[in-house]
Structure 1
Amino acid sequence: MSTLMALHLQFNLTETLRLAEHAVSSTEQAQSYTETEDGIACPGALVWIHDEGVYLMSSGLPRLHDPDRPDSNLLVYADGWNPNTDGYRRDVDLGGDDFAEHLHLTDPAAPLIRELRAAHAEGYRWLQLTVTGTAYEVSVAGSCQRPL
């Protein structure tokens, strides 16, 4: 019998909130593949990406540029998942394919942007994505939980 282990991806909350504020203040958004196919407008999102590393970026247009790399988007890497500093990592819960998932910030039922702002004001330091197989959960954490 195998035990399902969760993968905890943690992103610096201050840096993540910068991306989120850019996304919600932008008048135009880069749509996800599904939004484009369905003809639905993106309401503003953090785009969670797995390709060379695991990171977030803003869906807002024009793009939020990295001041250290002016021709690149500003990225917030998950703790321990920046290939430039941490090397290349893999995890079965992220699957074998690269992906981009939109984490909408202004869904009426539970606006993520409000949760991020409140958590930051209360001193939380991390946005956490807990990934198990084909599901994920978004939460905030006060400290970074590194696996042993």
Structure 2
Amino acid sequence: MSFNDFVTCPINKNHRPLRGRLDTHLVRCCRALDTQQKKKMVICPFNETHSVSAAKLLDHIRNKCTCNVSNFVNDMKELEEPKPSLKGLDNAPPPKTAECEDDWDLEPDVGTYKPLHNCDDKLVVRSIKGQSRAVRQEFRYNERRRFAELKDK
């Protein structure tokens, strides 16, 4: 562990937590603040370990934030500048759409799938659960008879 492993807390400059524990420290440090101080502090939208005052947030994002926020800063500049009017685009043709012969809204004429009826004429072992003992015994007897008939075919 070296001195470089420690970072300065953005909320309280006297705190020096380990770099890996900064997230946990910030949660505890924010709990210790009173309500007036909490109202003044804002978390950076690009890195939650950056906590700055609300008045300095825009300056922090533009100049001091070490995260890769250049794309976002350019987007913010575009939002601040007035956009030019889009004259002449009102008469533009609508985008081309591909025509399709299939009608996906039509439902096919297919009956519902009934697995027990589908297995009646095949050598498939079926079981029954959740029934009384007498019903299970009768089901097994009928299954043995069904298997014998299918083997004879």
Band of TM-score, shorter chain = under 0.3
Compare CA radii of gyration and give the structure with the larger one.
2
- More strand by percentage: 1
What's the TM-score, normalizing by structure 2? 0.18
Task: Using CA pairs under 8 Å that are at least 6 residues apart, name the structure with larger relative contact order, 1 or 2.
Answer: 1
